[in-house]
């Protein structure tokens, strides 16, 4: 079995991994680069020319992992966890992007399986290669790890992961079920940040409660697809005796996952931001025919916002509905410096006397998680992707390969 990192040994996001065994070649993840528009990116045998790959597997719904899926040749089978595909298509509808309409091999991934036999986890088997799907813990709902077997070798591709989310026990179960591997391909997003241990989602929830009790109105800015974070703020809002209000996208996202964060008897309310008023009729009929709009009807609330909703926030302020308000910024702080639109949004909120509070924990692994991954899987060799500097992992992982893009590595 051989491995080639097509992209990812020196970049975060847009990673593409090829695994080759006998006459079979597969790809794991095919998404956008984070800082460049790479819609013109082509790969011989995958997006153009005669197809050379037998299958493509997607780890989760973030655009840097699934964003280029429509470019893949139509005769190459695609494997995507079923809720991941629904979330991706919902995101496309809201972002004016083309949805996936071609035939997809979807599979279900479960949090716990009593049967430790890998047979019921197998999603692909063509005689050369077998691929098994395991649930991970990431800031994307139902993220997957893939175990690949062939030529009596075992390779684990972690995708993006962590162990401080609300599925921390699930990922421990997954890794213990996988056990020792010959090759580990792991993300290394945070290796350059020198973070030993991140705050857990439960700890973040506790901090959010203390903040929310000081304010009457709490605006929350976070990634809408981060279901763990939504759960943290929902639970904190309930403990603070506030109504919890979602924007239109998040409202429909909860409908897709078919449950709301394990909290019984909770009414989740909706607000309809102004920016949706000019959407086409098909969008309004599909997503906006809802009678549950609470905005302005209750003085104590927690509400999800985005920078595109500044007009709505100003209207609330002008109506006197933000008298004792804060915004909890729950994303990477670097976005405030790097993205002018977010910086401008934050500055406008300050003009309305809305306090800015940073409260965030990463969707990626910390050093303790890396060490635990290495201990359990005990790989013969390790390739680190989704990183700016793989050398930072040499003191953590077994036998880190100094991998370069587009070079094959034989699994020993």
Q: Is 73 exposed, middle or buried (0-12, 13-18, 19+ CB in 10 A)?
A: middle
Residue 114 — pLDDT band, cuts 50, 70, 90?
Answer: very low
Q: Are residues 141 and 286 in the same domain?
A: no
Q: Are residues 244 and 184 in the same domain?
A: no
Q: In angstroms, rounded to a whole number, what is the distance separating the alpha carbons of residues 122 and 147?
A: 9
Mean pLDDT on 99-109: 94
Instruction: Give the three-class secondary structure for 268.
Output: strand
The CATH number of residue 175's host domain is 3.60.15.10
Q: How far is CA 203 from CA 24, 160, 211, 226, 260, in A?
A: 45, 21, 13, 16, 20
Q: Are residues 6 and 150 in the same domain?
A: yes
Q: In angstroms, rounded to a whole number, what is the distance separating the alpha carbons of residues 79 and 129?
A: 14
Residue 296 — pLDDT band, cuts 50, 70, 90?
Answer: low
Domain hosting 107: range is 2-194+363-410
Q: Are residues 42 and 65 in the same domain?
A: yes
Tell me the pTM.
0.93
Q: Are residues 169 and 240 in the same domain?
A: no
What is the total count of domains within the chain?
2
Mean pLDDT on 406-410: 96
Q: Are residues 25 and 96 in the same domain?
A: yes
Residue 67 has pLDDT above 80, yes or no: yes
The CATH number of residue 233's host domain is 3.40.50.10710
Q: Are residues 181 and 229 in the same domain?
A: no
Q: How far is CA 32 from CA 15, 36, 69, 133, 289, in A?
A: 8, 8, 10, 23, 32
Q: Please report the pLDDT score of residue 371 as a whole number.
A: 97
- Do 36 and 65 meet the contact criterion of CB atoms below 8 Å apart? no
Q: Are residues 42 and 174 in the same domain?
A: yes
């Amino acid at each position: 079995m051989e491995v080639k990192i097509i992209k990812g040994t020196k970049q975060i996001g847009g990673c593409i991994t090829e695994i080759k065994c006998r006459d079979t070649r597969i790809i794991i993840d095919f998404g956008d680069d984070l800082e460049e528009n790479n819609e013109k990116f082509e790969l011989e045998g995958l997006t153009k020319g005669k197809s050379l790959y037998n299958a493509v597997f997607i780890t989760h719904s973030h655009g840097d992992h699934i964003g280029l899926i429509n470019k893949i040749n139509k005769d190459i089978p695609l494997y995507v966890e079923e809720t991941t595909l629904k979330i991706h298509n919902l995101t496309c509808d809201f972002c004016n992007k083309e949805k996936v309409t071609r035939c997809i091999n979807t599979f279900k991934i479960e949090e716990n399986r009593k049967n430790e036999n890998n047979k019921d986890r197998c999603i692909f088997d063509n005689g050369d290669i077998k691929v098994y799907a395991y649930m991970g813990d990431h800031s994307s709902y139902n993220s997957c790890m893939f175990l690949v077997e062939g030529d009596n070798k075992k390779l684990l591709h972690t995708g993006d992961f962590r162990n401080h989310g609300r599925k921390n026990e699930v990922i421990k179960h997954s890794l213990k079920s996988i056990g020792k591997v010959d090759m580990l391909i792991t993300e290394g997003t945070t290796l350059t940040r020198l973070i030993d241990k991140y705050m857990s989602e439960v700890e973040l929830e506790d901090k959010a409660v203390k903040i929310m009790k000081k304010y009457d109105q709490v605006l929350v800015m976070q990634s809408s697809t981060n279901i763990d974070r939504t759960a943290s703020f929902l639970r904190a809002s309930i403990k603070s005796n506030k109504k919890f209000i979602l924007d239109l996208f998040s409202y429909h996202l909860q409908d897709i996952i078919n449950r709301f964060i394990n909290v019984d008897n909770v009414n989740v309310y909706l607000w309809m931001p102004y920016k949706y008023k000019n959407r086409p009729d098909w969008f309004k009929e599909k997503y906006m025919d809802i009678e549950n709009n609470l905005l302005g009807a209750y003085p104590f609330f927690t509400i999800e916002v985005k920078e595109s909703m500044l007009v709505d926030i100003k209207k609330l302020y002008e109506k006197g509905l933000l008298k004792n308000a804060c915004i909890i910024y729950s994303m990477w702080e670097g976005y405030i410096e790097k993205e002018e639109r977010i910086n401008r949004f934050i500055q406008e909120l300050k003009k309305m006397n809305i306090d800015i509070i940073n409260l965030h924990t990463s969707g990626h692994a910390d050093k303790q998680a890396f060490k635990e991954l290495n201990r359990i899987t005990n790989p013969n060799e390790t390739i680190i992707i989704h990183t700016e500097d793989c050398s930072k992992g040499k003191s953590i992982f077994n036998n880190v390969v100094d991998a370069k893009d587009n070079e094959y590595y034989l699994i020993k």
